[in-house]
C-alpha cells in the first residue's frame, strides 16, 4: 500500500510539473528566436535609424552609440550662462551671459547600403531656438533674444555581426563621424567663418587632428571594433586645443569650447586669439585654450563642441546678426 501511495504521489507531482516545463520550453525558444527582446518588431533599417538618432544597444556609458541621443542636449546651454569673461564694445557695453535655448528639433536620416554587411546612416538635425545675450548697455542691464535655425550632421556606419531574426543582434556601430554644424538663419555660419582644422593636445602631446571644413569626414572606430582615434582622458588631464579658421569679420571672433552636459556649472570655455594674418576672404586666425578635465567629470563617452561666432553675434543687439559655425567630437573619460 505504501508503495502504491508513493507511486501515486510521484505521478501527481510529475503531472503538475508538465505545464511548468512546457512554459519554460516556450520561453527558451522565444529567447533563441529573439522574439522577446525589443525592438524585435522593427525592420533592419528602422532599427539602424533608431540607434543612430536616439537609442543605444546597451546602457553601458562607454558604448559609442550612447553619443547620438545626447547630441542636441550636450550643445544646448538651456539659455544664457557665464563663461567668466567680459568685453567692452557697442551697442552692448559689457557682456555678462549668453547661450542657446533649443525650442525644436527636426531629424532627417538617409541610409546608404555599401554592401550586405555595411550600411551608413547620415543624420541631419535641424534645430530651432533662441540665442540669448545678457549685458549692460550704457550701464543699464539689457537682454537680447535672437531666433535662429542651425543644421548639424553626423554619419554613423553600421557593420553586420550576425544573421538572426532580431536586427538588434545583427548590427553594431562600426564608425561614427565628428559633428559638422552651422546656423542657417538669420545668417549662414560658413559664409562668415570656416573652421579648417582643430588640434588636441593631452598633457602637451598631440593626440588628435580633425580637418574641416566638413568635419563629418573625420571618422572614429567604435570600441566594439577596436576604438581607434577617439580621445581618451583621465580626470586631471590638461587638454590644449588649437582652432584654425578663416573669418571675413574685421572684429575678433568669439570661439568657445562647450563641455558635454555634465555635473559642474561651467559649461563653456572661451578661446584666446594667438595668431592673425590676412588670408582668403579675410583673416586666417588661430585660437587656443587649455583646460583641465575636472575631478567630478562623469566617466564614459561624451560629445564636446567647439563654436565660432561672429563678434556681432554677441556684441550687437540686432536680432538679425547671429552667425555661428561649429563642430562636435566624441571623447571618453576613463572610469
Q: Which residue has 555678462 as its cell numbers? A: 96
**pLDDT for 63:** 78
What does the CA dihedral 292, 296, 298, 303 come to, rounded to 10 degrees? Answer: -30
Distance between CA 288 and CA 70 in Å, rounded? Answer: 26
Distance between CA 44 and CA 180 in Å, rounded? Answer: 26
**pLDDT for 17:** 53
**pLDDT for 18:** 46
Q: What is the DSSP letter of 93?
A: -
Distance between CA 291 and CA 93 in Å, rounded? Answer: 28
Distance between CA 309 and CA 271 in Å, rounded? Answer: 12
Report which of 190, 252, 247, 220 is spatially closest to residue 328, judged by C-alpha positions: 220
Distance between CA 173 and CA 184 in Å, rounded? Answer: 30
Locate 265 and state its grid cell. Answer: 556649472
**pLDDT for 167:** 87
Give the residue ranges of the chain where pLDDT is below 50: 1-9, 13-14, 18-37, 39-40, 84-88
Report which of 157, 294, 285 is spatially closest to residue 217, judged by C-alpha positions: 157
**pLDDT for 53:** 92
Antiparallel, parallel or unpaired: β 238-247 and 205-211: unpaired
Tell me the pTM: 0.83
Locate 80 and state its grid cell. Answer: 544664457
Residue 143 to residues 95, 97, 177, 254, Cα–Cα distance (Å): 10, 9, 36, 18
Antiparallel, parallel or unpaired: β 219-221 and 238-247: unpaired
**pLDDT for 264:** 59
Each domain of the chain, given as residue ranges in start order, spans 37-333
Amino acid at each position: 500500500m505504501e508503495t502504491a501511495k508513493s507511486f501515486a504521489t510521484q505521478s501527481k507531482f510529475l503531472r503538475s510539473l508538465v505545464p511548468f516545463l512546457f512554459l519554460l520550453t516556450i520561453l527558451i525558444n522565444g529567447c533563441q528566436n529573439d522574439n522577446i527582446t525589443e525592438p524585435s518588431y522593427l525592420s533592419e533599417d528602422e532599427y539602424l535609424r533608431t540607434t543612430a538618432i536616439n537609442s543605444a544597444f546597451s546602457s553601458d556609458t562607454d558604448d559609442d552609440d550612447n553619443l547620438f541621443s545626447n547630441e542636441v542636449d550636450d550643445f544646448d546651454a538651456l539659455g544664457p550662462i557665464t563663461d567668466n569673461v567680459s568685453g567692452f564694445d557697442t551697442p552692448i557695453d559689457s557682456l555678462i551671459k549668453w547661450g542657446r535655448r533649443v525650442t525644436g528639433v527636426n531629424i532627417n536620416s538617409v541610409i546608404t547600403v555599401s554592401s550586405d554587411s555595411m550600411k551608413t546612416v547620415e543624420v541631419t538635425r535641424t534645430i530651432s531656438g533662441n540665442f540669448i545675450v545678457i549685458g549692460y548697455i550704457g550701464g543699464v542691464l539689457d537682454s537680447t533674444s535672437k531666433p535662429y535655425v542651425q543644421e548639424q550632421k553626423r554619419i554613423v556606419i553600421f557593420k553586420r555581426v550576425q544573421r538572426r531574426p532580431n536586427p538588434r543582434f545583427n548590427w553594431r556601430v562600426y564608425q561614427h563621424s565628428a559633428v559638422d554644424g552651422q546656423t542657417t538663419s538669420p545668417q549662414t555660419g560658413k559664409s562668415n567663418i570656416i573652421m579648417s582644422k582643430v588640434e588636441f593636445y593631452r598633457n602637451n602631446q598631440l593626440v588628435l587632428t580633425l580637418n574641416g571644413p566638413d568635419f563629418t569626414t573625420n571618422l572614429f572606430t567604435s570600441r566594439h571594433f577596436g576604438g581607434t582615434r577617439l580621445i581618451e582622458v583621465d580626470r586631471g588631464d590638461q587638454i590644449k586645443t588649437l582652432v584654425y579658421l578663416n573669418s571675413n569679420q574685421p572684429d575678433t571672433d568669439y570661439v568657445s569650447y562647450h563641455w558635454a552636459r555634465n555635473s559642474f556649472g561651467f559649461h563653456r570655455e572661451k578661446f584666446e586669439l594667438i595668431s592673425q594674418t590676412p588670408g582668403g576672404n579675410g583673416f586666417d586666425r588661430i585660437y587656443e585654450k587649455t583646460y583641465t578635465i575636472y575631478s567630478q567629470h562623469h566617466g564614459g563617452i561624451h560629445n564636446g563642441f567647439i563654436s565660432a561666432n561672429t563678434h556681432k553675434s554677441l556684441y550687437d543687439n540686432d536680432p538679425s546678426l547671429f552667425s555661428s559655425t561649429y563642430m562636435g567630437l566624441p571623447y571618453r573619460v576613463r572610469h
